[in-house]
Structure 1
Amino acid sequence: MDEIMDTPELENMEVDLFVQALHRRHGYDFSQYAPASLKRRVQQLAQQLQCRSVSGLIERVIHEPQLLPNVLDGLTVPVSDMFRDPAMFRTVREQVLPMLASYPQINIWQAGCAHGQEVYSLAILLEEAGLYDRTQIFATDLSERALQQAEEGIYPVRDAQQWSRNYQAAGGKRSLADYYSARYSLLKIDQRLRRNVTFARHNLVSDGVFCEAHLIFCRNVLIYFSNVLQDHVLSLFRDSLVRGGYLCLGLRESLDYASAVHDFTAFEEKMRIYRLTSHSEHEVT
């Protein structure tokens, strides 16, 4: 008689089957996400949806398509803050935006925009630099639900105090309260910050070049990807940037092991800000 597999091996098998089912049933491929993080999220998702096991979750994913938004939210964890890592935003304010000011039109791609906090943080920086009127921000995410919330720009007012501290630490020139209205337990971002933002669904795993960008923000997304997928996404960013364009990653992310590393130089290594110096064989004309 064959030996019974231990629990971790069974759990891994269930997660693999879940990934296959999600891909075949709905077209979303999570096979190149970091295994440990993906396993943890899938198991948490099964608990949240009151499934006795991941196998039960597989059945529901196959037969209950209305669960897809919940599934994508559980797997992508769209969490962020305004002016997260204020020193990085200060660097963008003081060193990157003055360089972008030479362009008559500025395109920014915020990839993996989650619920939009960093999108509006960028809009505030641009507004205060006098650049927003000639800037277009393309904010993309895998999750339609996250995009909807980002477009609404409504957040818990309890976050305002921390966001205000972040804003001031990032070199804010006014009061953050100038950019939102508060009522009861919610705050709403001023509509003028949305005037040059386009929200759109984009899958970094399967979709191609999104726009010709002068600046790409993709922070704290790559840490959830396998090395192979990180390499794919970083090559996509390289091919989406104009020569001399900037790439901002999360503070725990880098280009060190990507095939595109030789096409970039470190503009501010500590802040994980890079500048495209060459497209190599992928040169855009």
Structure 2
Amino acid sequence: MKIYKVQTAAYTITLPQLTELNDVIKKVHGFDFSEYSKASLSRRLDRIMQIKKLTYYDLKHLIINDHEYFQTFLDEITVNVTEMFRDPNFYKAVNAQVLPYLSSYQHIKMWSAGCSSGEEVYSLSILMHLAGLSAKSFIYGTDINTEVLQEAKKGIYSFRKIKSYAENYTLAGFSGSLSDHFTIMYDAASIHSELKQNTLFSVHNLISDNTFNEFQFISCRNVFIYFETSLQERILNLFYKSLCPLGFLCLGSKEAIRSDYFKSKFKTINSKENIYQKIGASSTTY
């Protein structure tokens, strides 16, 4: 009996095909992936093609002709890995080094860029609540992925997830238990309504959209690693223009400001967690 193997090469995208597909997506749907990390984008496309058993030409046909499929494609291609109080040392640093300064503001506007299903937004909301700053803070969560934003707006997570996030909460040094901030409903947990009321989730494309407010605090962690250097600098400029004078930019332990130009525009507050403070009052475009 012959054993036939699937030819995985049929489900592997080449560099010229990747360039062509980026052009097609931009022309047909207005999304520009050309400055995403090619290695990361190729891996995700290969995975989609292998799971769906699509050749490159099948995939291109669907993207051009099936607008409903494109939303599914977008959900699969964008990165949606998150958890509450991810990297506890980051929250320790924000609590100790940023909140004492933010507490002096009459109003605190915060932006979680690339917020996925909302865990970071609600982590920040809990953080502000514990610091007694909820009444004067408002947190915006944005993402390119509409499906995960719908999940974020609900603020309902499986109880299994909440149990796994509880260790992060404890390691961040906060009192009580993470479950204190949720209403448990059978196998799910819903964030308390007072922690949702000062939050807003909306679609925002970091690549093509402009600034939409002036913020005292912007967090964009575990996102830059998927972008080429030129795109990282464009987004840094967006964040710079979106911050008020002396506002804080948080990139997390895996990403940092590498451009000499932007290093001159920010003061380093925490070098391990890459927390920066905008210098001066200018919002000059780079």
Match for residue 279 of structure 2? 277
TM-score where L is the length of structure 1: 0.92
Which shows bigger deviation, 224-233 or 65-74?
Answer: 65-74
SS at structure 2 position matched to 1:113 = coil
1:130 aligns with 2:118: no
Q: Which residue pairs with 2:16 in the alignment?
A: 13
Q: Which residue identity does 2:15 align to in structure 1?
A: N
Distance of 1:274 and 1:131 partners within structure 2: 21
Match of residue 62 from structure 1: 64
In 1, distance between residues paired with 2:13 and 2:186?
48
Two-structure CA RMSD over aligned residues (Å): 1.9
TM-fit CA distance, 1:281: 6.1
Matched, 1:198 2:200: yes
Question: What is the number of equivalent residue pairs in this alignment?
Answer: 277
Q: Post-superposition shift, 1:159? A: 1.7
* 2:164 alignment counterpart: 162
TM-superposed deviation, 1:257: 2.4
Query: Partner residue of 2:31?
Result: 28
| Structure 1 CA distance for aligned equivalents of residues 95 and 101 of structure 2 | 10
Alignment of 1:138-217 (within 5 A): 138-217=140-219
Q: What is the CA-CA distance between 1:9 and the residue it aligns to?
A: 9.9
The more displaced of 181-190 and 85-94 is 181-190
- 2:240 and 2:283 in contact (8 A); partners too: no
- Corresponding residue to 1:81 among 80, 83, 90: 83
Deviation (angstroms), 1:115: 0.5
Give structure 1 stretches of 5+ with no counterpart: 1-5
Distance in structure 1 (CA, Å) of the matches to 2:209 and 2:222: 19
Tell me the amino acid that sits aligned with residue 35 of structure 1. K
Q: State the 1:149 CA deviation.
A: 0.8
Residue 41 of structure 1 corresponds to which residue in structure 2? 44
1:244–1:276 contact (8 Å) kept in structure 2:
yes
- Pair 1:258–1:14, CA change in 2 (3 A): farther
Report the CA distance between 1:279 and its aligned residue.
Answer: 5.3
2:183 paired with 1:218: no
Deviation at 1:19, TM superposition (A): 1.3
Indicate how the Cα distance of structure 1 residues 181 and 143 shifts in structure 2: closer, same or farther if over 3 A, else same: same
Match of 1:110 among 100, 109, 112: 112
Q: 1:8 to 1:147 in 2, by over 3 A?
A: closer
Aligned partner letter, 2:16:
M
Change (3 A) 1:190 1:84: same
In structure 2, C-alpha distance between the alignment counterparts of 1:279 and 1:263, rounded to whole Å: 10
CA distance in 2, matches of 1:148, 1:203: 16
In structure 2, C-alpha distance between the alignment counterparts of 1:121 and 1:246, rounded to whole Å = 17
Unaligned runs of 5+ in 2: 1-8
Aligned-residue identity in percent: 37
Instruction: State the one-letter code of the partner of 1:31.
Output: S
Q: For 1:278 and 1:68, how far apart are their aligned partners in 2? A: 43
SS at match of 2:264: helix
Per-residue CA deviations over 1:134-163 (Å, capped at 9, x if unaligned) read 111111111111111111112222122221
Name the SS for the 2:111 alignment partner: strand
Counting only pairs closer than 5 Å after superposition, residues 233-244 of structure 1 correspond to structure 2 as 233-244=235-246
CA contact (8 A) 1:142 1:203 kept: yes
**Do 1:14 and 1:55's aligned partners in 2 also have CA atoms closer than 8 Å?**
no
Structure 1 stretch displaced more, 187-196 or 108-117: 187-196
For the 8 Å contact 1:238–1:276, the answer to whether it is kept is: yes
CA distance in 2 between partners of 1:202 and 1:172 (Å): 31
Equivalent residue, structure 2, for 1:3:
none
- Pair 1:279–1:236, CA change in 2 (3 A): farther
Residues 1:66 and 1:8: Cα distance change in structure 2 (over 3 Å): closer
**Mapped pair 1:247 → 2:238:** no
Q: CA shift at 1:280, angstroms?
A: 4.8
Displaced runs of 4 or more, over 4 A: 6-10
Provide the secondary structure at the position in 1 that maps to 2:257: coil
